[in-house]
Structure 1
Amino acid sequence: MNNHPVITIGRQCGSSGKIIGQKLAEELGIKCYDKELLALASKNSGFSEELFQSHDEKPTNSFLYSLVMDTHSLGFTTSGYMDMPINHKLFLAQFETIKKLAMEEPCVIVGRCADYALSEYPNLISVFISAKDEDKIQLLKERNQIDDTKAKDLMVKTDKRRSSYYNYYSSKKWGDVRSYDLCVNSSSVGVDGAVRVIKRFVEEKMSQLK
């Protein structure tokens, strides 16, 4: 059995979750996969990267969860679902890529229901990053050069999309503390503080598994 950690990062829009994931990976000397996961899934499946990007963290329909569960329980591979609609194919191809990554190397994976895909992986550390609304709005204003109204709209719509995606495709609820090993408020500890907290948690959990 592999004994390396895999850390998944769920995040609210504007909470610096991606930056925290990247800095954590640097601290641990491992890779961080965000958009890079789409390119990898494209390479593994043969579907174009543009298709993965167009469907990235976007919900489709309410019966997809049961479809994924049925397919996963039967042990189907990419070749086993070629008759499915394209959105189903893309989700399952990404699902398999995440599981393959976890078996091959320690890494940080941002978003994309990675914690659900790896729910049976013993060395999974699932993290959720939140922040105060005013801090998220300020970050989005600066990053995108937009005003308060547009920043708030972006925050709300992105979180709604991520929540719908996660809740459709997993058996858990996005942002619910019961869905994660660790929840960190980046407004309280800052980006670097969040990295230190998560790193310490990873070290502690891995020591318990030895």
Structure 2
Amino acid sequence: MKTPIILTIGRQFGSGGREIGERIARELDLAFYDKQLLEIAAEESDIAKELFETHDERPTSSLLYTLAMDLYAMRYPTSIQADMPLNHKIFLAQFHAIQKIGKKGNCVLVGRCSDYALADQKNAVHVFIRADLDDRVRRVADTMEISRGKARELIMKEDKKRASYYNYFTSNKWGMAEHYHCCLDSSLLGIEGTVHVLKEMLEWKRSRQSRKSGI
């Protein structure tokens, strides 16, 4: 029996992180989780799915959260205090869902502080994908069929949200190499090359863990 694999991917917007994760999951026959995490967390917490989607990787302490708490009837685990801000409840519900998925292993998880949630998983590999801004602008513009000016604005906006969310809910800093096992440049390697490097890394990690455990 092979040692389970877990890969978490942090990524700059437009770097191809999601595509890379999907390809690795498909080629290594692993479960893939991106926005699926929102559905799982919603089902297990009874928090409305719309709230997870609206606040996906977006920290805030605005009045909207307070108002939303009055609009939705929610049931939480006893470990979550009833008076906790809604953004914290949503984060914790997602955090618990990620940890539950991580225990099963053989999965790829994209974003949403999954590296932080699974920091204690010995068989997990945490990576961050970045790319040159010009390459990201071109990718986003082509994929979303928008102007490059709009693509650049969207990239700046989404990266800021992701960084704010990560920095707000963890003790780490988004994109800092010291918080990941590996940081890769998809501009340098290309999508194909990045997938290849990560597959080799995961297989090496699995082999090393298997030798240690005697499997």
Q: Please say whether Structure 1 and Structure 2 have the same fold, judged by a TM-score greater than 0.5.
A: yes
Give, in whole Å, the separation in 2 of the partners of 1:105 and 1:6: 6
Give, in whole Å, the separation in 1 of the partners of 2:156 and 2:102: 31
Correspondence 1:4-23 to 2 at 5 A:
4-23=4-23
Over alpha carbons, which structure has the higher Rg?
2
Give, in whole Å, the separation in 2 of the partners of 1:79 and 1:60: 24
Give, in whole Å, the separation in 1 of the partners of 2:90 and 2:15: 27
The gaps in structure 2 that reach 5 residues or longer are 62-75, 211-215
Q: Decide whether the 8 Å contact of 1:128 with 1:182 is kept in 2.
A: yes
Structure 2 counterpart of 1:151: 151
AA in 2 matched with 1:155:
I
Q: Decide whether the 8 Å contact of 1:31 with 1:108 is kept in 2.
A: yes
Correspondence 1:71-90 to 2 at 5 A:
78-83=77-82, 84-90=84-90
AA in 2 matched with 1:166:
Y
Structure 2 counterpart of 1:73: none
Structure 1 counterpart of 2:71: none
Q: Decide whether the 8 Å contact of 1:123 with 1:206 is kept in 2.
A: yes
Give, in whole Å, the separation in 2 of the partners of 1:3 and 1:48: 36
Q: Decide whether the 8 Å contact of 1:78 with 1:92 is kept in 2.
A: no
AA in 2 matched with 1:47:
I
Q: Decide whether the 8 Å contact of 2:8 with 2:114 is kept in 1.
A: yes
Cα deviation, residue 82, structure 1: 4.4
Q: Decide whether the 8 Å contact of 2:12 with 2:130 is kept in 1.
A: yes
Give, in whole Å, the separation in 1 of the partners of 2:190 and 2:98: 28
Correspondence 1:176-187 to 2 at 5 A:
176-187=176-187
AA in 1 matched with 2:94:
Q
AA in 2 matched with 1:21:
G
Structure 2 counterpart of 1:103: 103
Give, in whole Å, the separation in 2 of the partners of 1:180 and 1:164: 17
TM-score (norm 1): 0.88
The Cα RMSD (Å) is 1.5
Structure 1 counterpart of 2:37: 37
Cα deviation, residue 126, structure 1: 0.3
AA in 2 matched with 1:79:
T
TM-score (norm 2): 0.86
The gaps in structure 1 that reach 5 residues or longer are 62-76
Q: Decide whether the 8 Å contact of 2:59 with 2:87 is kept in 1.
A: no
Per-residue CA deviation, residues 88-144 of structure 1 (Å, 9 max, x unaligned), is 111000000000001123100000000000111111100111111111000111112
Per-residue CA deviation, residues 63-85 of structure 1 (Å, 9 max, x unaligned), is xxxxxxxxxxxxxx823214122
Moved over 6 A (4+): none
Give, in whole Å, the separation in 1 of the partners of 2:131 and 2:176: 14
AA in 1 matched with 2:194:
A
Query: Secondary structure of 2:191's partner?
Result: helix
